Amino acid sequence: MSNWIEAKVKDVKWWTDSLFSLIVNADVEPFTAGQFTKLAMQVGDKRVARAYSYVNAPDNPDLEFYLINVEDGQLSQQLAQLKPGDSVTIERRATGFFTLDEVPSSEQLYMLSTGTALGPFISILEQGDVWQKFEHVHLVHGVRLNEDLSYQQRIAALQKQNPNLHYSPVVSRESASVGFNGRITDVIKDHRLFEVTGKHVNPDTAQFMICGNPEMVKDTTAILLELGFSRNRRRDPGQITVEQYW
């Protein structure tokens, strides 16, 4: 249990009735953008732990996590009640391979996310190394409602720093106030997503990082495979790098 340490809550930011960001401070080990750690709390007579990706860049001491307060969630319900000054347990060492180190260089990088899986992409973009491997980056965030589009100021600041960062929200259950209507799979199938940058997209020019609910990851991967892209493996580099976020 020596890998578990205490973290102090610095802030809790609510985006909607169910979406919130938890910011804590703790003496964690260095991590790479895109990795995750675990948060834990005592619930009744047992300790409940869940994995969450870092939203902050590795050099930021404010450790940030983007969460959804699940109605019957054992841990999320407890985390949602935390206030500044409270304590939560955090795993000191991060893990995970959803990092830029695992992705081959290319002209373009498409970051495809749904819901709170936006978090690791914010971390990667704020780390900044992405621009050493890619000329154009396209951040895509699929949500149900317009109000679920969190982190708008952070994304706008990142775009201001680098005009080659493109941002496309995809809203599925109401008319989109900005971006696309439908699902991520829809805008890939009809090529609307690829028209935003005006760049030719094929296995020689583009890489895809996909993070979200298992159904989206599975369906999006299947579509990209049909388009001629391949899964990225260490021994057999391809263009599709995925992480289930559920």
| Residues 126-158: b if buried by 16+ CB within 10 A, e if exposed | bbebbeeebebbbbbbbbeeeebbbbeeebeeb
Q: What is the pLDDT of residue 137?
A: 97
Residue-wise pLDDT tens for the chain (246 aa)?
A: 469 999 999 999 999 999 999 999 999 999 999 999 999 999 989 999 999 999 999 999 999 999 999 988 899 999 999 999 999 999 999 999 999 999 999 999 999 999 999 999 999 999 999 999 999 999 999 999 999 999 999 999 999 999 999 999 999 999 999 999 999 999 999 999 999 888 899 999 999 999 999 999 999 999 999 999 999 999 999 999 999 776
User: What pLDDT does 89 receive?
Assistant: 97
Tokens found for residue 229: 């892209």
Cβ(41)–Cβ(74) below 8 Å: no
Q: Are 22 and 67 in contact (CB under 8 A)?
A: yes
Residue 2: its pLDDT value, please? 62
One-letter amino acid for residue 112 of the chain: L
